[in-house]
Amino acid sequence: MNTDLIFKLSDAVSLGNLRYATELAKNELSKYMDVTDFGTLGVIGTLNKGADRTLMLDAHIDEVGFVVTSILKGGFVKVANAGGIDKRILPATPVIIHAKRQVSAVFASTPPHLGKNEPQEITDILLDTGICENLESIVSVGDFVSYDSKCVSLAGNRICGKSFDDRAAVACLIEVASRIYDKELPFNVVFCFTEQEELGLRGAKTASFHIDCDEAIAVDVSFGDAPDVPDSHLKKLGDGVMIGISPILNKDITKHLKKLCEKNNIPFNSEVMGGTTGTDADNITLAKSGIPTGLLSIPLRNMHTPCEIIDLSDYLNTCDLLESYILSGGAFND
């Protein structure tokens, strides 16, 4: 399959007021429907306006990153995290400071010969820009910082890059739009790329209140198999789309998703959660008087790092299941 869109979305930045990935996604979605950019709400487009029922499809487009907190002598910068960061991978990791001009930098690393093995707090690790004079004329407190990494294809169906959480799901929704935009649909389908999920599911909270929908499906990533991760917390890459099961998720939607997988031979796994899901689904279920919501996830390795890995077969299975759900009329098609 063509991975260009996933790679372009991954390489772009969507962090704070840096909305390059959002603009790219909006332009792609606009090929199939009218799209409105609501800023911190996100990007919203609708197919088949005027039907009696509405399905909302959600994927968040923001990513984790950093923000500059102080500028020190010698070309060094201090940052704070914006979203959940695995501090273990930071030493010697390259980043880009989005300042008056883009500045390449790298997190400082203590040589292992000196015996400092415990990871430092993010606020204690310095960024080395290599610019020793007049750094303040280029970089300012409040500038955002993103990982500097590029997507690569691995063996088989695997690809690696930053922010597949959740750009893989954004690409999936755009792919679904391309498949159904010219078909007769049983209900309105609203595509929503929300902001600020990594800062507390904020975009989904406002977007789902704004959209008058009857049901919703959130699309995200979840834990794929990896060394030293307990089997109970992961699903194997390449084994299919993950269907969420949780007390907060609608059982009819979940049941219908599973039936469609069985009917259409779409590989899937059940992802059981005893409470909330940690995804946009949590806030969508609470909007207005409550929205029946389902959750689909793409298995992913190395979450919240610059080298996240997915299997493209899982991505395509997720696209196939969403397309089938829409064309079937959803779980409440009487």
Give the tens place of pLDDT for each residue, 208-240.
Answer: 778 889 999 999 999 888 887 776 667 889 999
- pLDDT for 199: 73
Mean pLDDT of 264-275: 94
Residue scoring higher pLDDT (130 or 204): 130
- pLDDT for 212: 84
| Per-residue pLDDT at 253 exceeds 90 | yes
| Per-residue pLDDT at 334 exceeds 70 | no
Rounded to an integer, what distance in angstroms lies between the CA atom of residue 77 and that of residue 140? 10
Indicate the pLDDT class of residue 1, thresholds 50, 70 and 90: low
- pLDDT for 254: 97
Mean pLDDT of 238-258: 96
Q: With contact defined as beta carbons under 8 Å apart, do 47 and 174 qualify?
A: no
The phi and psi torsions of 136 (rounded to 5 degrees) equal: -65, -20
Indicate the pLDDT class of residue 272, thresholds 50, 70 and 90: very high
Mean pLDDT of 271-292: 90
Mean pLDDT of 253-282: 94
Percent of the chain with pLDDT over 70: 96
DSSP lists the bridge partners of residue 294 as 217
Domains plus CATH for the chain? 4-63+162-328 (3.40.630.10), 65-147 (2.40.30.40)
CB atoms within 10 A of CB 200: 11
| Per-residue pLDDT at 30 exceeds 80 | yes
Rounded to an integer, what distance in angstroms lies between the CA atom of residue 241 and that of residue 309? 15
Strand ranges (DSSP E) for the chain? 14-15, 18-19, 34-37, 42-47, 54-60, 65-71, 76-82, 94-98, 102-107, 126-128, 144-147, 152-153, 158-161, 188-194, 215-223, 241-245, 268-272, 293-300, 308-311
- pLDDT for 140: 94
| Per-residue pLDDT at 100 exceeds 80 | yes
Nearest in space to 249 (alpha carbons), one of 220, 223, 225: 220
Q: Given 28, 195, 197, 215, which residue is catalytic?
A: 197
Q: Which DSSP state fits 120?
A: P
CB atoms within 10 A of CB 228: 4
3-state helix, strand, coil in the chain (%, to 5): 30, 30, 40
pTM above 0.85, yes or no: yes
Residue scoring higher pLDDT (287 or 104): 104
For 298-312, the pLDDT digits (tens) are 999 999 999 999 999
- Can you tell me which residue has the tokens 């704004």? 210
38 HSE (CA, 13 A, CB side): 21
Q: Which DSSP state fits 225?
A: P
The phi and psi torsions of 120 (rounded to 5 degrees) equal: -80, 160
Write the CA distances from 316 to 1, 14, 36, 297, integer angstroms: 9, 24, 27, 12
- pLDDT for 233: 64
Cα-trace Rg, the chain:
21
Strand ranges (DSSP E) for 181-272? 188-194, 215-223, 241-245, 268-272
- Can you tell me which residue has the tokens 């209900």? 187
Residue scoring higher pLDDT (226 or 60): 60
Rounded to an integer, what distance in angstroms lies between the CA atom of residue 117 and that of residue 111? 9
Residue scoring higher pLDDT (79 or 115): 79
Q: With contact defined as beta carbons under 8 Å apart, do 54 and 198 qualify?
A: no
- pLDDT for 232: 64
Q: Are strands 34-37 and 42-47 parallel, antiparallel or unpaired?
A: antiparallel
Mean pLDDT of 129-152: 91
| Per-residue pLDDT at 205 exceeds 80 | no
- Tokens for 177, please give them: 């739009």
Nearest in space to 81 (alpha carbons), one of 107, 46, 55, 101: 107
Q: Please give the mean pLDDT across all residues of the chain.
A: 90
Q: With contact defined as beta carbons under 8 Å apart, do 148 and 96 qualify?
A: yes
For this structure, is 197 an active site residue? yes
68 HSE (CA, 13 A, CB side): 25
| Per-residue pLDDT at 27 exceeds 70 | yes
Determine the longest span between alpha carbons in the chain, in angstroms. 69
- pLDDT for 88: 87
- pLDDT for 288: 85
Cα torsion through 170, 259, 53, 39, rounded to 10:
-10
Percent of the chain with pLDDT over 90: 65
| Per-residue pLDDT at 198 exceeds 80 | no
- Can you tell me which residue has the tokens 């914006």? 82
